[in-house]
Structure 1
Amino acid sequence: MKLSVLDQSPVLTGMDSRDALRQTTELAKWTDRLGYYRFWVAEHHSTHSLAGSSPEVLTAHLASQTERIRIGTGGILLPHYSAYKVAETFRVLETLHPNRIDLGVGRAPGGIPNVNLALNRGEVPNIEGYPAQVEELIAYLHGEDPHGMGVFAAPQGGTAPPVWMLGSSGTSARVAADLGVSYSFAHFISGYGGARAMDRYKDAFHPSLQQRNPQGNVSIFAVCAESDQQAEYLAASLDLALLKIEQGGIRHHFPTPEEAFNYSYTMSDEQRIQENRNRMIVGSAGKVKSEIESLASYYQVDEVIVNTIVSPFDERMKSYELLAEAFQLREPTIK
């Protein structure tokens, strides 16, 4: 089974955005050495607690800092942009780093509602046109001229980055199947309905210019430590962060475990935290390994993407190291 990484460049307590992006770079280099398969970065706008607003730029930087691991976006919010321009950006990345680039796309707003307006010159993007836009993107990536305008996405080349459709619902699964692209379910966003969505994707899949067979993976929050008790302590900060996000609280950083344990929770808060644990795997290496394997079996996929947000940063690095050891990921030879 393949293990991969999703990193949202979280801003931890006492840190700023520069620190967050530096930590993302360190984590990419670290997980490359540990043997993780791919490393995706997210797109979020107008938030103080997540520093990754331009995943295509960050992808270029991380690919230049790593040797083997696949680097990509999880994902580009395509309705905000020109499919032609996105295709050219990723054709450049593919030319610089052949067979190492992934292009994950999504249709969510990526921040507060007004982000839609700010990114689209005061207009709401056309979500209904999203499937056609993805189809256009695939065509340009593979050297085609979908509108017959006598243009192509430069630079051309013999390889193209695969398009992954990201989703947390059955709707995205069906679109991915119809267009014949890979599908990634965000279990860390929605802890329900994912297996049905993946089944729908596989059952309805149509071969395409990109690929002949369905390919899927699933992403999950995970916190791994030397003991279950230590993992629970670290995960308390993520519990509080998710609670605050859902309550619409203004966040300038991700809290520390100490902040989480000193917070006064209501009974409804406690219930919501337990509900959110459906989106997380927490525990010692053996426990987390077992639950990740069960998750992969439940989804019938051979790849799980791990998103770990804990404080301090050293504990995040350690969490990925413990998982790599538990799964016996092979450390690649660095040339």
Structure 2
Amino acid sequence: MSIKLSVLDQSPLLPGATARDALIQTTELAQWTDKLGYHRFWVSEHHSTKTLAGSAPEILITHLAANTKNIRVGTGGVLLPHYSAYKVAEVFRVLESLYPNRIDLGVGRAPGGMPGVNYALNKGKYPNVQEYPKQVMELMNYVRGEKHPTYQVSATPLGETAPPIWMLGSSTRSASLAAELGTSYTFAQFINGEGGINAMKDYYNHFKPSEQQKVPQGNVAIFVVCAKTEKEAEYLASTLDLQLLRIENGDFRHGYPDPEEAVDYPYTSFELERVRQNRQRMIVGNPQQVKEQLETLAQTYGVDEVIVNTIATSKEKRFESYQLIMDAFKTK
């Protein structure tokens, strides 16, 4: 099975690194994976966090597009309930004009941070998430250059091409909406290790053709840690094991733990079970193991593209993981 490999980067703050360091590493990773032949490079939107530096993906992808050559760049994704669909459309029409056929507009409705983020982004009010489907429809129309029926305005600059809209989610609800509106769909298995296969089936079974696309297009995003040996991959992945556990426990300390700290952590039996369950959100192993599991994942979901999110506290090991994965798929 032929699989396209793509990247999701959250600009993680690794030990001893500043936010600027994290954003520079995101840029270098985009250039590296572009060189390796990855298909897309998406960046996320997170607010008021001590572990992730990516708070404005629409700005970051402008920089990434300017510093890469072939790879598609996009948002994974813009948290639409916080913003004006019209303004988002204009931002991406500018991007599409600058980098035609290289921009992806991924959208979601999650808060993107602690509860207070909702209020801070919405002038002290809670966003009306019930309006989300209407917002997405407005966004699709604006991006295509159509005038709003009431306001009689178009999102400019107008152009011959338009960035495709991807609906990002971790539930069947988001899959159903993507199918209803006729957008592409990404299931975030790195967020939710369960229910993804049913969500994707729901998307494919109920997809309605739209002006954007006539057939469904789906992919799946997952944490992946690949190293030369399974033992080393497990050691590197212990960082994610502990970090995900900390998040679940409300422990939002600065940055990610080193593997040494993670290995020495005194896990309780309950915490070990949580680690085991969270491994459904990851693929960990040597290149051949990772290749086989990614192929199985794609086949099970019925997609031809997998988005890889590798977080390791060593920059060299992190970049090596992406190279080992691509090399494994290029090897006959």
Shorter chain as denominator, the TM-score bin is over 0.9
Structure 2 matches for 1:84-123, cutoff 5 A?
84-123=86-125
The Cα of 1:328 is off from its aligned counterpart by 1.1
- Report the aligned-residue RMSD: 0.8
For residue 136 of structure 2, what is the aligned residue in structure 1? 134
| Structure 2 residue aligned with 1:322 | 324
Whole-angstrom CA distance in 1 between matches of 2:182 and 2:11: 30
Q: Secondary structure at the match of 1:154?
A: coil
**2: CA distance between counterparts of 1:232 and 1:327?**
21
How far apart are 1:148 and its partner, in Å?
Answer: 3.5
Map residues 217-256 of structure 1 onto 2, 5 A cutoff.
Answer: 217-256=219-258
Instruction: Provide, for residues 84-104 of structure 1, a one-character-per-residue CA deviation record: whole Å limited to 9, x for no partner.
Output: 000000000000000000000
In structure 2, give the amino acid aligned to 1:82: S
Match of 2:8 in 1: 6
Displacement, 1:239?
A: 0.4
Q: Secondary structure at the match of 2:77?
A: strand
Counterpart-to-counterpart distance in 1, 2:94 and 2:105: 12
1:217 and 1:157 mapped to 2: Cα distance? Answer: 27
Q: CA deviation at 1:31?
A: 0.1
Q: How many residues align?
A: 329
Aligned residue in 2 for 1:64: 66
Alignment of 1:176-215 (within 5 A): 176-215=178-217
User: In the TM superposition, what is the alpha-carbon distance from 1:291 to its structure 2 partner?
Assistant: 0.1
Distance 1:17 1:264 in 2: 29
1:149 to partner: Cα distance = 2.2
Residue-by-residue CA offset, 1:12-69 (whole Å, 9 max, x unaligned): 0111100100000000000000000000000000001100000000010000000000
- The equivalent of 1:266 in structure 2 is 268
Show CA shifts across 1:291-328 (max 9, x none).
00000001000000000001111110000000010011
- Identical positions, percent: 61
Q: Residues of 2 paired with 1:14 and 1:129: CA distance?
A: 41
Question: Distance between the aligned counterparts of 1:24 and 1:287, measured in 2?
Answer: 26
- In the superposition, the TM-score normalised over structure 1's length comes to 0.97
Q: Which of 263, 281, 296 pairs up with 1:279? A: 281
3-state SS in 1 of match to 2:250 = coil
Q: Report deviation, 1:192.
A: 0.8
2:127 to 115, 118, 125: 125
Q: Write out per-residue CA displacement over residues 181-239 of structure 1, whole angstroms, 9 at most, x where no aligned residue.
A: 00000011111111111011111111111000000000000000000000000000110
Aligned counterparts of 1:49 and 1:19: Cα–Cα separation in 2: 12
CA distance in 2, matches of 1:42, 1:197: 21
- State the distance in 2 between where 1:124 and 1:36 align: 38
Q: Which residue of 2 aligns with 1:42?
A: 44
The offset of 1:250, in angstroms, is 2.0
CA deviation string 1:237-273 (max 9, x = no partner) = 1100000011110220011101101211111111100
After TM superposition, where is structure 1 displaced by more than 6 Å over at least 4 residues in a row? none
Q: Which runs of 5 or more residues in structure 1 are unaligned?
A: 330-335
Distance 1:39 1:251 in 2: 27
Q: What one-letter code is carried by the residue in structure 1 that aligns with 2:185?
A: Y
Q: Distance in 1 between matches of 2:253 and 2:298?
A: 32
- Equivalent position SS for 1:9: coil
Q: Match of 2:30?
A: 28
CA distance in 2, matches of 1:328, 1:116: 44
TM-score (norm. length: structure 2): 0.98
Task: Report the secondary structure of 1:61's partner residue.
Answer: helix
Supply the distance in 2 between the matched residues of 1:319 and 1:162 (Cα, whole angstroms): 29
